[in-house]
Amino acid sequence: MAEARTVHLVQTAVAMGLIEEQVSLCYQCGTCTGACPVAAAGGMDYTPRAIMRMIQAGLEEEVLSSQTIWTCASCYLCTVRCPRGIQITEVMTQLRNLALAKGYKARKGQVYNQGFIDIVRRHGRMYEPELVVRYHLLTNPLNFIGLAPVGLKMIAKRKLRLLPDHPPGRPEIRRLFERLKESERRKEQGE
């Protein structure tokens, strides 16, 4: 049986090629959709199987603007069960990257992702209260009302850190982010 190649790393430029190579193995059995807990809970506009077919059919715009690629919870059950050995979870991640690179409208998922990573960049570690506040400010500030009961419960149980952790390696982490950015820029200039 043809085994899909293990994908460790994707550069945006080659992402589509790798996705197509993986997806060309799909024979539409639907095992991934049957396994997917998000699809079962009604959280996807296209099932994972449908996404595979759409990629085969070249429906790039529909795929990259779908809700599915942003609500995939990266749980890997589809990948475990796919009889063709396709790394579906990895494909979903790459589709998100591709959608961003091609300028598709960022979904809520990306507001969250960016917010999360920005905190890591500045503090070196996660600081949950800041993430929650920032995310809801940028998406729907009315959500704060609904958050109050849970927030109070968390405070009562001392489940929230009141101040961010400040590990001494913070400058190192910021450099790391800068260097990633630099390498990206160099790649774009075709080095």
Which residues in this chain contact ligand SF4 in the complex, by CB under 6 A?
Answer: 26-32, 35-36, 38, 48-49, 52, 72-78, 82-84, 86, 88-89, 92
Mask: binding to another protein, 98-127, rule CB under 8 A, as x and -? --x------xxxxxxxx-xx--x---xxx-
SS3 content of the chain, % helix, strand, coil (to 5): 60, 0, 40
Q: Which is nearer to another protein, 58 or 161 (CB)?
A: 161
Picking from 93, 101, 86, 34, the residue whose alpha carbon sits closest to that of residue 68 is 93
- 22-30, 48-56, 57-65, 90-98 -> range binding another protein (CB under 8 A): 90-98
Output the furthest CA–CA distance in the chain (Å, rounded).
55
Asked if 132 interacts with another protein (CB under 8 A), we say yes
Q: Find which of another protein, ligand SF4, none residue 65 binds, CB within 5 to 8 Å per kind.
A: none
Asked if 130 interacts with another protein (CB under 8 A), we say no
Size of the site for another protein (CB under 8 A): 63
Q: Which is nearer to ligand SF4, 75 or 176 (CB)?
A: 75
Angle subtended at Cα 80 by Cα 95 and Cα 83, rounded to the nearest 5 degrees: 90
Classify each residue of 135-154 as buried b or exposed e, where b means 16 or more C-beta atoms within 10 Å of its C-beta: bbeeeeeeeeeeeeeeeeee
Cα(123)–Cα(83) distance, rounded to whole angstroms? Answer: 42
The angle that helices 12-23 and 48-56 make with each other, rounded to 10 degrees, is: 100
Q: Find which of another protein, ligand SF4, none residue 48 binds, CB within 5 to 8 Å per kind.
A: ligand SF4
Helices marked H in 57-107 — which ranges?
60-64, 68-71, 77-81, 88-101
| Interface positions with another protein (CB under 8 A) | 8-12, 37-38, 40-43, 70-71, 73-77, 79-81, 93, 96-97, 100, 107-114, 116-117, 120, 124-126, 128, 131-132, 135, 150, 153-154, 157-161, 165, 167-169, 172-173, 175-176, 179-180, 183-184
